[in-house]
Structure 1
Amino acid sequence: MWTSLRRRLDRARLRDPAFAFLFEPPPPDEAVALDCETTGLDPRRDEIVAVAAIRIRGDRILTSESLRATVRSDRPSSPEAIKVHRLLNAEIREAEPLDAVLPALLRFIGGRPIVGYYTEFDVRMLDKSVRRQLGIRLPNPRIDVSSLYHAAKYRDAPDYVKIDLSFARILEDLGLPALPQHDAFNDALMTAMIYLQLRDLLARRVAIRREAAGPVETVAFGA
């Protein structure tokens, strides 16, 4: 109810009617895997330095339909952040600012659900630019693969079970390849693979065994 009301209010507040497509129904069974690399982990102070998005249609990851960009930041990355995203401050200074990249990114995403790993952080980082340009926050539905993984592995876990929602743990449990991380495109691609596999497991009501230590070992819910 609240989500529906907020969408109606945001649509009324939209500054540029050319972006009304964000509120339209997406193409059937499509989503977009999204990842942002940032100067740090504080959404109030840090900035995006790279973004990538890949379309998902049905059970296919459409790497030929993708968008990736390095983004200019006025906030230098710390040495620790550079070790993570491997983008030098000189590269970042020469890139386009997020406000220039954002229109193409929004057109690429459209009204599709955004799939991510701890999606709220990436969306919150993008929303700083979305609010400046459009006067709203991104209205797209969000799908967080860490939440799907929790549902598939820990839904009925007793309190004493240690919960591990790390990206590496998810990949290992699902038997998926670990590409070099903290590259926005690679992270978006791995997120898309995780999403499709977890969506299939949950649709078939198959859970990941909590004692699994290698490729996915499954059991029907309630077993």
Structure 2
Amino acid sequence: MFNQIKNYFNKKNLKDEKYSYLFDKANDDEFVCFDCETTGLDPKVDDIISIGAVIIKNNTIISSKKFVRFVKPKTKLQIEAIKVHHIREMDLEEAEDIDNVIEEFLDFIGNRKLVGYYLEFDIAMINKYIKPKLGIYLPNKNYEVSAIYYDYKIEKIPQANIDLRFDTIMRDLQIPTMGKHDAYNDAVMTALIFVKLTNFPKVKIR
């Protein structure tokens, strides 16, 4: 009920009716798993430099329907961020403008439910661009895989100390890593975590 009320007022702030589809009721069996690489870890000052996303439908990752875009940032890449994603400023010389990428991203996700790891951060980064542009925050329902994993583990081992690091979750679920760390590969690996977890009998998402 709270989310319905929040989305009602959110929609009233929509500046462009072209994007009203974001508020449509989502299909139960469709999700988009996405990941952002950024110049740093502060959504208020840092910028997106790449977005990777993939569609999940009927428990299947549709690899033919993927979204991969690189963005030219307005802020300087931080050294610590480069150590993680290995993207340098010279790699982004031919990258796209964020306004175009955000429009394409919204068209890609539509009204689908969103999946991610550390998803709150990624959504905050997307909201940084769509709030001034459209007047709204991203309204799509979302699922954090580390929270689903936590619920799954605590049900099996009550009072356990659950390690929620990405690599630990991958190893525990026996999902092979894809090697190169980038937004698209991270989105696919996160999608694999989501699909495997949601196929366990006792794991329910709403």
| 2:172 paired with 1:170 | no
Q: Which residue of 2 aligns with 1:199?
A: 198
Q: Which residue of 1 aligns with 2:136?
A: 136
Q: Which residue of 2 aligns with 1:209?
A: none
Q: Which residue of 2 aligns with 1:113?
A: 113
| 2:145 paired with 1:145 | yes
Q: Which residue of 1 aligns with 2:158?
A: 157
Bigger Cα Rg: 1
Q: Aligned AA for 2:158?
A: A
| Distance in structure 2 (CA, Å) of the matches to 1:12 and 1:85 | 38
Deviation (angstroms), 1:93: 4.1
| Distance in structure 2 (CA, Å) of the matches to 1:127 and 1:149 | 26
Q: How many residues align?
A: 202
Alignment deviations for residues 180-223 of structure 1 (CA, whole Å, 9 cap, x no partner) = 2530000000011000110111xx127xxxxxxxxxxxxxxxxx
| 2:183 paired with 1:184 | yes
Structure 2 gaps of 5+ residues are none
Q: Which residue of 2 aligns with 1:71?
A: 71
Which piece of structure 1 moves more, 165-174 or 36-45? 36-45
Q: Which residue of 2 aligns with 1:13?
A: 13
Name the CA shift for 1:157/1:181 in 2 (closer, same or farther; >3 Å).
farther
How much identity, in percent, do the aligned residues show?
39
| Distance in structure 2 (CA, Å) of the matches to 1:88 and 1:147 | 32
Q: Conserved in 2, the CA contact under 8 Å of 1:130 and 1:137?
A: yes
Deviation (angstroms), 1:26: 2.4
Deviation (angstroms), 1:131: 0.4
| Distance in structure 2 (CA, Å) of the matches to 1:86 and 1:152 | 33
Q: Conserved in 2, the CA contact under 8 Å of 1:123 and 1:138?
A: yes
Which piece of structure 1 moves more, 92-101 or 15-24? 92-101
Alignment deviations for residues 127-183 of structure 1 (CA, whole Å, 9 cap, x no partner) = 01010210000000010000010011024632xx33210000110011001112530
Q: Kindly report structure 1 stretches of 4+ aligned residues shifted beyond 4 Å.
A: none
Q: Conserved in 2, the CA contact under 8 Å of 1:38 and 1:46?
A: yes
| Distance in structure 1 (CA, Å) of the matches to 2:179 and 2:77 | 20
